């Protein structure tokens, strides 16, 4: 992303501020002495996408916001929620909105359009699968156990590092020149999941294999591990698009 004139916001609201990308955005903003408000259910004040009464307190005094939607922009109805939030944010005085989006997701693109209609200085950071899904998400335990079984085919994916996502999001939040831009972020190589598992095995020196399985078997395994039913249903609906 280009280097532009510095912009110093008042408070930057980081939604999903305890997640893979959000906490990295928070760390980078704080290192730049930018006042940050972490938007999460455990935040002060708390923020909950499903409770609109929490939106106004979280937005109060903010001039920019990083928008990471939970559970995923691929969920039907996400666009309407993003549109309502963006409108309220602008009415509250937020000037900049940076949306974390996903590649190849129709509902995510509808959410992008809803954000663009808000009147804010918007930027979309459209990402592929996160590399950290293997090290920080629910893939970690199977990786440590030696076998990762997933209901995905052999189509290669340009896995992207969450640190790179955070770097670009912070640039869009704090520097001029990124308004109205959609940034497609990918990693440097195309890898199938089997390729990615092989890379992890070589780098870690561990025995590790990848096994493709049907979605029903995958969903059943998640339920046995205690993954909430709504998250399992989401994976069925989205086809495990990003597991972000």
Strand, coil or helix: 139: coil
What range does the domain containing 153 cover? 11-238
Distance from C-alpha of 7 to C-alpha of 123, rounded to nearest angstrom: 15
What is the reported pLDDT for 240?
Answer: 59
For 56-87, what is each residue's pLDDT tens digit? Answer: 999 999 999 999 999 889 888 999 999 999 99
Parallel, antiparallel, or unpaired: how do β-strands 147-150 and 121-127 relate? unpaired
Q: Is 6 contained in some domain?
A: no
Q: Is 243 contained in some domain?
A: no
Helix (H) or strand (E) holding 149: strand 147-150
What is the reported pLDDT for 216?
Answer: 87
Rounded to 10 degrees, what is the CA torsion of 213, 214, 215, 221? -50
For 26-62, what is each residue's pLDDT tens digit? Answer: 999 999 999 999 999 999 999 999 999 999 999 999 9
Q: Are 161 and 138 in contact (CB under 8 A)?
A: no
What is the reported pLDDT for 239?
Answer: 59
Tell me, letter by letter, the H, E, C secondary structure of 38-58. Answer: EECCCCCCCCCCCCHHHHHHH
Residues of the chain with pLDDT under 70: 1-9, 237-244
Q: Are 6 and 174 in contact (CB under 8 A)?
A: yes
Q: Is 110 contained in some domain?
A: yes
Q: Is 1 contained in some domain?
A: no
**Residue 46's CATH number:** 3.40.50.720
Q: Give the residue carrying structure tokens 């920080």.
A: 136
Distance from C-alpha of 75 to C-alpha of 93, rounded to nearest angstrom: 28
Number of structural domains in the chain: 1
Q: Is 38 contained in some domain?
A: yes
Q: Is 158 contained in some domain?
A: yes
């Amino acid at each position: 992303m280009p280097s532009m004139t510095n912009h110093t916001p008042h408070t930057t609201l980081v939604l999903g501020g305890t997640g893979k990308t959000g906490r990295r955005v928070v760390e980078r903003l704080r290192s730049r002495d930018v006042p940050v408000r972490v938007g999460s259910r455990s935040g002060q004040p708390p923020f909950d996408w499903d409770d609109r009464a929490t939106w106004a307190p979280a937005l109060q005094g903010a001039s920019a916001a990083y928008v990471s939607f939970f559970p995923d922009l691929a969920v039907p109805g996400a666009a309407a929620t993003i549109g309502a939030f963006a409108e309220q944010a602008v009415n509250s005085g937020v000037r900049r909105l940076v949306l974390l989006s996903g590649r190849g997701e129709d509902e995510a693109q509808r959410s992008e359009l809803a954000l663009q209609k808000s009147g804010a200085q918007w930027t979309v950071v459209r990402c592929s699968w996160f590399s950290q899904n293997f090290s920080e998400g629910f893939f970690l335990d199977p990786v440590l156990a030696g076998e990762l079984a997933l209901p995905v085919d052999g189509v290669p994916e340009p896995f992207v590092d969450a640190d790179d996502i955070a770097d670009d999001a912070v640039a869009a939040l704090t520097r001029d020149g990124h308004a109205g831009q959609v940034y497609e972020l990918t990693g440097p190589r195309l890898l199938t999941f089997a390729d990615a598992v092989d890379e992890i095995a070589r780098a870690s020196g561990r025995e590790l294999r990848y096994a493709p399985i049907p979605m029903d078997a995958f969903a059943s395994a998640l339920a046995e591990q205690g993954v909430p039913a709504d998250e399992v249903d989401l994976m069925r609906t989205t086809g495990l698009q990003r597991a972000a």
